[in-house]
A and B are shown apart, each in its own frame.
Chain A
Amino acid sequence: MSVQRLELRGIRKRFDGLEVLADISLTVRPGEFVSILGPSGCGKSTIFKLLTGALQADGGELLFDGTPLDHGRRPFAFMPQRDALMPWRRILDNATLGLEVQGLSRSQARQKVSPLFAEFGLAGFERHYPVQLSGGMRQRAALLRTVVQQRDMLLLDEPFSALDALTRAGMQRWLQAMWERHRWTALLITHDVREAVFLSDRIYVLTERPARVLDEITVALPHPRTDLASPQAAAIEARLLQTLLNPQPEKGK
C-alpha cells in the first residue's frame, strides 16, 4: 500500500468530561474521496477542528504524508457547513480570501481566481454580492474559495446540508463531475447516506457520541457516476442505513 496522505490513529477527545471522540482511526490516500458518515451531533465536526488546529486531541496520532501533522504547514483547505461567505465582499473577493491570507496581493489573487469562475458556474457573477446569489451558487462560490487555496487536501463539512433537496442533488452531481476532473484528495463529513455513496471511494461510519468507527465500506462503483439508482449503489445504501440505525453492540464493552 502506498503512503497515506492522512492517517488518524486512535484519536480521542473530550470536552469537560464529555467524551466526544472515543477512538477514531482512519486513512485517506492521495486522490481519494473519503466520507465520514455519522448521526447528527456525533462529533464529526470535532475531527475537522482537530485537523485544522482549532482543537487539540487528548490522545492518538495525526499523520500527514507519514509525519505528525504540523499546523504551520496548513495542508488543508476547509469548507464549512454554511457557506460563510462575507456579505460585504463581492463573490470575486470572497473567492480570493484564502489567497489573500496566504499573502498574495488582491490583484494577483484575482488573476488566479478569475479563470475558474466559468468552471464553477459563476461566470458573470464576479461583481455580485453573496446576498444576490442562490443557495447553490453560494456553495459553489464557497467551494471555489476552498479549492483555489491549492492545499494538499480538502475538508468538506456537510457542504450541502443547508440546501433544499433538489439543489442538493444538483450540487452533488456537479461536485462529482468536478472531482472526476480534478481528483482532489478530500474528506467529506455528511449525514446523508446517498450523498456519501454517490461521492465517495470509501466511507467510514461513526457511532453516536462518544464516536468510534463502526464500519468502513469501500464504494467500488465505477466512475463517472451518474446513476444513483443502480442496484450496487442501492445495496451499499441499504447496508449503511442498516449499520447506522441498528448498530451492533460494541465488542469489549
Chain B
Amino acid sequence: MSANRRHAGVFAPVLSKIAPALLSVGALVVAWELYARFSGISAIMLPAPSRVIGQAIQHRQALFDNTVPTIRATLFGFGCSLTAAFVFSVLIDFSRSLRRALFPVFIISQTLPLVAIAPLVVLWFGFGLAPKIMLVALVTFFPMLVALVQGYAATDEDIQSLLASMGASRARIFLLARLPSSLPYFFAGLRISITYAVVGAIFAEYAGAAKGLGIYILNAKNNFRPDLVLAAVLVSATLTLVLFGTTVLIQRLAMPWERLGEGRRS
C-alpha cells in the first residue's frame, strides 16, 4: 500500500501541477514564433524562438564556456552569503544591541543601486571571481538574514517555555527549538535569493568580466545579435529554474513532516 501511495503522492500531483505551466509557456512560445515569422519583423529586432534555439545549439560550446563561470560565481557568492547570513542571524538572535547596531548597516546595503555599485566593485577588485562573489552576496545576504531572523522569532512560545522548564540553556533552546523552527522561513528565503543570485552574478559579469553569461550577453548585444542574447537568457533561465528546483527538493528532504501534514489541516 505504502509504495503505491508514495508514488501517487509524489509524481501525480507534480505532473498535474506543472502541466498548466507547460501549456501556458508553450502557447507563449508558439505565439512568439508565429508573430516573428509572419509579421515581417526583422530577425535583428525580434528573432523567432526556433532561431534562438538553433543558434543556442550552434553556439553551445561558447555558451557552455560562459555558463560555467556564471554558475561558479552564483554558487560561491551564494554560499558566502548563506554562511554570513547564518552567522549574523545567530549573533543578532543572541544580542539585542548587536541587532540594533547591525541592522541599519544591512538595510543601507540594500539601498545601494546595483547599477552604480557593480562597476565600482569591478574597478576595485578586478575581473576575477571576487567582485562577482561580493555582488551576489550583496543581493542575497539581506533576504536570507531577514528570513532566518524572522524564522527564529516565529518559534512556538510554548515549546520554548517547555524547554526552559526542563532546564535547557539559552543556547540549547536555540538549537532544539529556534533553529528548526526557522526552517520554513529559511527555505522561503532560499527560493527567493537563489533567483536573485543568478541575476546578481550575470549583472556583475555585465559590468566587467573575462568570461560569463553577463559578458556574453553584452558582447552579443554590441554585435547586434539579439538571437544570441536570447540564447544566453534561455541558458540563465534554465540555470535559475534548476537551482530553484534544487532548493524545493532539498526542502522536501529536510522537512518530511511538512508534506505529511498536507491535506490534514482542516
Residues in chain A within 8 A of chain B (CB atoms): 49, 52-54, 74, 76, 78, 80-82, 84, 86-88, 97-98, 100-102, 129-132, 149
Interface-facing stretch out of B113-121, B154-162, B217-225: B154-162
Q: A74-B167, A129-B256, A131-B257 are in contact. Are A88 and B180 (CB under 8 A)?
A: yes
- The answer to whether B180 touches A54 (Cβ under 8 A) is no
- The answer to whether B165 touches A76 (Cβ under 8 A) is yes
Once the chains are docked, how many angstroms separate the CA of A130 from the CA of B265? 12
Q: B239-266 interface mask toward A, CB cutoff 8 Å, 1 = contact, 0 = none?
A: 0000000000000000111001100100
Which B residues are in CB contact (< 8 Å) with A98?
166
Q: Does more than half of chain B's interface fall in helix, strand or loop, or is it mixed?
A: helix
The 7 closest A-B pairs by CB, nearest first: A131-B261, A84-B158, A129-B257, A78-B165, A52-B165, A101-B166, A88-B180
How far, in Å, is B16 (CB) from chain A's closest CB? 23
- The answer to whether A88 touches B257 (Cβ under 8 A) is yes
Which A residues are in CB contact (< 8 Å) with B159?
84, 86
Which of B161, B163, B260, B264 is A101 in contact with, Cβ under 8 Å?
B163
- The answer to whether A84 touches B156 (Cβ under 8 A) is yes
B99 interface residue per 8 A CB criterion: no
Nearest B residue (CB) for A78: B165
- The answer to whether A52 touches B164 (Cβ under 8 A) is yes
Once the chains are docked, how many angstroms separate the CA of A131 from the CA of B265? 9
- The answer to whether B257 touches A102 (Cβ under 8 A) is no
- What would be 16 A-B contacts, judged by CB atoms less than 8 Å apart? A52-B161, A54-B161, A54-B164, A76-B165, A78-B162, A86-B159, A86-B176, A88-B257, A98-B166, A101-B163, A101-B166, A101-B167, A102-B166, A131-B261, A132-B260, A132-B261
Which B residues are in CB contact (< 8 Å) with A54?
161, 164-165
Once the chains are docked, how many angstroms separate the CA of A84 from the CA of B260? 18
Which A residues are in CB contact (< 8 Å) with B261?
87, 129, 131-132
Q: A87-B257, A129-B257, A129-B260 are in contact. Are A102 and B156 (CB under 8 A)?
A: no
B80 interface residue per 8 A CB criterion: no
- The answer to whether A131 touches B260 (Cβ under 8 A) is yes
Which B residues are in CB contact (< 8 Å) with A129?
256-257, 260-261
Most buried by A among B161, B165, B177: B165
- The answer to whether B158 touches A81 (Cβ under 8 A) is yes
Which A residues are in CB contact (< 8 Å) with B167?
74, 101-102
Once the chains are docked, how many angstroms separate the CA of A53 from the CA of B167? 10
Once the chains are docked, how many angstroms separate the CA of A87 from the CA of B176? 12
Q: B156-191 interface mask toward A, CB cutoff 8 Å, 1 = contact, 0 = none?
A: 101101111111100010001100100100000000
Instruction: Knowing that A53-B164, A54-B165, A131-B257 touch, tell me 7 more A-B residue pairs with CB under 8 angstroms.
Output: A78-B162, A78-B166, A88-B255, A101-B166, A129-B257, A132-B261, A132-B264
- The answer to whether A80 touches B257 (Cβ under 8 A) is no
Nearest A residue (CB) for B255: A88
- The answer to whether A82 touches B158 (Cβ under 8 A) is yes
- The answer to whether A97 touches B158 (Cβ under 8 A) is no
- The answer to whether B161 touches A131 (Cβ under 8 A) is no
Which B residues are in CB contact (< 8 Å) with A130?
257
Once the chains are docked, how many angstroms separate the CA of A176 from the CA of B19? 55
How far, in Å, is B159 (CB) from chain A's closest CB? 5
Nearest B residue (CB) for A84: B158
Once the chains are docked, how many angstroms separate the CA of A54 from the CA of B183? 27
- The answer to whether A86 touches B158 (Cβ under 8 A) is no
Once the chains are docked, how many angstroms separate the CA of A75 from the CA of B259? 38
Which B residues are in CB contact (< 8 Å) with A101?
163, 166-168, 172, 176
Most buried by B among A100, A131, A149: A131
Once the chains are docked, how many angstroms separate the CA of A52 from the CA of B180? 24
How far, in Å, is B89 (CB) from chain A's closest CB? 18
Which A residues are in CB contact (< 8 Å) with B166?
74, 78, 97-98, 101-102, 149
- The answer to whether A80 touches B180 (Cβ under 8 A) is no
Most buried by B among A54, A74, A80, A101: A101
Which A residues are in CB contact (< 8 Å) with B156?
84
Once the chains are docked, how many angstroms separate the CA of A76 from the CA of B164? 12
Which of B161, B164, B168, B177 is A86 in contact with, Cβ under 8 Å?
B177
Once the chains are docked, how many angstroms separate the CA of A88 from the CA of B159? 12
Nearest B residue (CB) for A80: B158
How far, in Å, is A167 (CB) from chain B's closest CB? 15
Most buried by B among A49, A52, A87, A130: A87
Nearest A residue (CB) for B180: A88
Once the chains are docked, how many angstroms separate the CA of A78 from the CA of B167? 11
Nearest B residue (CB) for A48: B165
Which B residues are in CB contact (< 8 Å) with A102?
166-167
Which A residues are in CB contact (< 8 Å) with B165?
52-54, 74, 76, 78
